[in-house]
Structure 1
């Protein structure tokens, strides 16, 4: 479908043409008409399908036809990298419209805060923000969204995974009730449906099937314990030429050791994580895109939403928990009819996630065990939870009344966990009410597991050691 068929404003069409957008992608073809009509929308589509343009193009069309004195659209995103990327895309698509925008995120210094404050006070056509940093500005009282017409939650599933639900609901309390709300998510777990019921009004729904990886991608799965992964990686990369690789790891503590090991092998490598300074992260990303060095080591902060592709290799140092994330990561290789290699290391604890990938692909994946022949010791046996005994005794562990032994301390209810304003680019700020069970500064009494006899009169009450420690 050609963009001219959407009857967009001339300035938007000029921008689309200048950015060499030829035909609308499936998500754009389905989403743009709904957004132009003013309907709420719940859309499930992978990153890399053109979903950002799917909502930016109709929103910019609205900006071209309207003249708001203050902010007309707010886009909430999970990470600062995605905020910066969307802001850059607005600059391109909104060039002829003259749309103003600003990315609001943490991890920066005083001048950036002042710039954000000025934009939030005076108003920009579109604001892209991480929830934690926007909450910080909102609490100071100078942010007003009275003219807001559009709210977008991009990568909503990732925001919920990162603990932003409380922040999202709090932000929405500052917004006018009459608005258009758009939710975009790469996956559709039950919690996304629950949030949609709370914030969307009679939404249209779009669900695009997860695409399979290209056949040109050589998918390699290696069984390896954590201590075997680094020497195994060094062995696999020996002799590889013209490499352009991103390595994903779930732990920040892995980044620097991996970078040092790669450099010892003579490979130029840099790493970024949520601990990296914002300026440093932007420079590293820019230099990697410009092919200034061949290998980028990153935590899961880069796993979705960042425009890096045309790679020769993708390494999953840890197995992604979501199979859709796996598909998107390895899809950064084998672009434009080229070939690519995706290597995934599987330890004892990540095997259940491999099962999810196999269910998505509807086939069993070959797992290689090579550490023993390389002198690194035996690899873990692939024995995911569904095939192995839990090791627990099936009999009840509770002691009968009058039995000996202290009862185990009960785990607190999940909701007793303190909520936090988790800004991925800064420190977490507790937001739980002081009186809430489990909030900082309060102590919740553990419930007894077993009833005990009431002590006789004048008899001292015994205290179980386990309960005394729990208190």
Structure 2
């Protein structure tokens, strides 16, 4: 379906043309008509399917047609990185529109606080905010919510995972009861359905490829001991012509160790984690997007919501504790119908968690022993009942991956 078929205003279509958006993705095709009809909506779609445009375009179109003053739309997101990204996309889509927006997120920069405060006082049309920071502004009494028409929760499941339920409900208490509420989520656990019942009214539901990695991702796993992981990373990347790689690890200390080893081996690797201030994180992401950094080593701070095109390889240095997080991590590659590779390192302690991932995505991922120079890895036996070694299991399942 073409974007020209949605009956958008000329100004919105100009923005889409300038950004070279032509064909709608399935989630956009399924949700935009309902949003334009004014329906409440809960939409579940895997990461990288175009959810941001699915809700921004109808909101911008309504603003283009009606030219309302003051705050019109509030978008709540779990992280500052996602807030900044959505605000940037909004600027692109709304380039030809008379629409103002502000990204509201935390930080120790007094200038940042004052810029957010001034935009909130003067009545920015669209606010993209993290819950905690927005509550700080709301408590000061200068944020006027009476003109709000749209509440959007993006990465709603992630916000609940991060403990933002109470913050969300506190923010909602400031909002007009008559509004359109939209929830977008990569997964649909019971807690999301509960939140939907509390916030949405007579809503429609859209499910697109629930909790499945994109078809363009070639997935594989290495069965290793913990001390084999860093040597394996260096071994896998040596001599490879890959322009853009993300390595996810569970802790910032591991991220620092991985980056240090890669740099010692001559790789152009940088790290992003919570010890960096916002300016440093923004600069690292800018350099990575511009292909000035080949390898980005990161904690889950960027597992969701960061839209970087052309990622060749994603490595899960650690198996995610939450099976659903695997989908978000590997979803950094093969975005927008492209292809990519996702590799996961499985230790003996991770095998049950990895089996849970396979059960969630309803697919068996091929298991590989480490290269000979790395040494022999542990047996792959997630059920711990004396099953076959990983070499034999791998041979038995060869060709059955789907």
| Superposition TM-score, scaled by structure 1 size | 0.77
Q: 1:380 to 1:140 in 2, by over 3 A?
A: farther
- Which residue is 2:380 aligned to? 382
Q: 1:360 to 1:5 in 2, by over 3 A?
A: same
Residues 214 and 334, structure 2, Cα contact 8 Å, conserved in 1: no
- Rounded Cα–Cα distance in structure 2 between residues aligned with 1:366 and 1:305: 27
Cα deviation for residue 388 of structure 1 reads: 5.3
- Which residue is 1:101 aligned to? 101
Residues 310 and 332, structure 1, Cα contact 8 Å, conserved in 2: no
* Residue 27 (str. 1) matches residue 22 (str. 2): no
* Residue 180 (str. 1) matches residue 185 (str. 2): no
- Which residue is 2:12 aligned to? 12
Give the SS at the match of 1:350: helix
- Which residue is 2:257 aligned to? 257
Q: Which of the pair has the greater relative contact order for Cα pairs under 8 Å at 6+ separation?
A: 2
- Which residue is 1:432 aligned to? none
Cα deviation for residue 6 of structure 1 reads: 1.9
Q: 1:199 to 1:335 in 2, by over 3 A?
A: closer
Cα deviation for residue 238 of structure 1 reads: 2.3
Residues 48 and 332, structure 2, Cα contact 8 Å, conserved in 1: no
Residues 249 and 300, structure 2, Cα contact 8 Å, conserved in 1: yes
Give the SS at the match of 1:107: coil
1:165-213 deviation per Cα after TM superposition (whole angstroms, max 9, x unaligned): 1110111111111111000000000000011011111111101124554
Cα deviation for residue 291 of structure 1 reads: 1.1
- Which residue is 1:42 aligned to? 42
Cα deviation for residue 250 of structure 1 reads: 1.7
Q: 1:111 to 1:337 in 2, by over 3 A?
A: closer
Residues 228 and 374, structure 2, Cα contact 8 Å, conserved in 1: no
Give the SS at the match of 1:344: strand
- Rounded Cα–Cα distance in structure 1 between residues aligned with 2:25 and 2:18: 17
Give the SS at the match of 1:318: coil
Pair member with larger Rg: 1
* Residue 119 (str. 1) matches residue 119 (str. 2): yes
Cα deviation for residue 218 of structure 1 reads: 4.1
- Rounded Cα–Cα distance in structure 1 between residues aligned with 2:374 and 2:53: 50
Residues 214 and 331, structure 1, Cα contact 8 Å, conserved in 2: no
- Rounded Cα–Cα distance in structure 1 between residues aligned with 2:37 and 2:336: 35
Q: Which has the higher helix share?
A: 2
Cα deviation for residue 353 of structure 1 reads: 2.8
Cα deviation for residue 369 of structure 1 reads: 3.0
Cα deviation for residue 230 of structure 1 reads: 1.2
- Rounded Cα–Cα distance in structure 2 between residues aligned with 1:338 and 1:183: 26
Aligned residues: 385
Residues 40 and 202, structure 2, Cα contact 8 Å, conserved in 1: yes
Residues 28 and 50, structure 2, Cα contact 8 Å, conserved in 1: yes
| Superposition TM-score, scaled by structure 2 size | 0.90
Residues 3 and 24, structure 2, Cα contact 8 Å, conserved in 1: yes
Cα deviation for residue 293 of structure 1 reads: 2.0
Give the SS at the match of 1:343: strand
Which 5+ residue runs of structure 1 have no aligned equivalent? 390-471
Give the SS at the match of 1:222: strand
Q: 1:78 to 1:336 in 2, by over 3 A?
A: closer
